[in-house]
Amino acid sequence: MSVADSYFEGMFRADADPWAMRTRWYERRKRSLTLACLPQHEYKSVLELGCANGELSAKLANRSGRLLCCDTSTTALELAQARLKQRPNVQFWQGRLPKEWPPGKFDLIVFSELGYYLDSTDLTQLIFSMRYALAPGGTVLACHWRPTIDGCPHTGDQVHAELHHLLRMPRLVWHQEADLLLEVWCEDATSVAEQEGLIRRAT
């Protein structure tokens, strides 16, 4: 069974920053890694799944023509809205993923620190929903904590193994540490250096 919505709502009602995303160097460094691994400087339309209180959202907004922030928790979305109220390119959507899904096609989908809360059925459905919602040539970025989390159906490594298996897209980035796993898949396998004409690969 996937973790219940009430779990996240309770966390954000008790603490506006339950994972200390604003203050921990681990979290601030992870955001920098996430942004640095994106193969494009800017994306027309971005979907962030599980935006929490909007700390990563604030950085993604600088790289997005339009950013849609999603979360299941009312309180989390209220915090994110307050954090991003001066950003007209940011919109918000509340729903229970993957049974509910926001409309539209996206050039970038960010799936961070969410997958291990989903059971196998929900994880599979979410990955297929992401694939369907991806615009042609689009990019998926996933980042997850690797140690086991009590009460969660999966580890971060298991989530990423399933992502790679089901997305069936070229993987541009694979970054692994003891604490986290960060990967990027894109239908366009052109590297950043190739995009800028620094190298030309043999065909």
Q: Residue 149: enclosing H or E segment and its boundaries?
A: none
Q: What number of other Cβ atoms are within 10 A of residue 193's Cβ?
A: 11
Tell me whether strands 180-186 and 134-145 are parallel, antiparallel or unpaired: antiparallel
- Both tokens of residue 185? 């898949």
For every one of its 203 residues, what pLDDT tens digit does the chain have, with 9 covering 90 and above? 689 889 888 989 999 999 999 999 999 999 999 999 999 999 999 999 999 999 999 999 999 999 999 999 999 999 999 999 999 999 999 999 999 999 999 999 999 999 999 999 999 999 999 999 999 999 999 999 999 999 999 999 999 999 999 999 999 999 999 999 999 999 988 888 888 889 887 66
pLDDT digits (tens, 9 = 90+) for 142-197: 999 999 999 999 999 999 999 999 999 999 999 999 999 999 999 988 888 888 88
Q: Nearest 5°: CA angle at 82, between 182 and 86?
A: 90
Q: Domain coordinates of the chain in residue numbers?
A: 5-108+117-195
Q: Which CATH number fits domain 5-108+117-195: 3.30.450.30, 3.90.1150.10, 3.10.180.10, 3.40.50.150?
A: 3.40.50.150
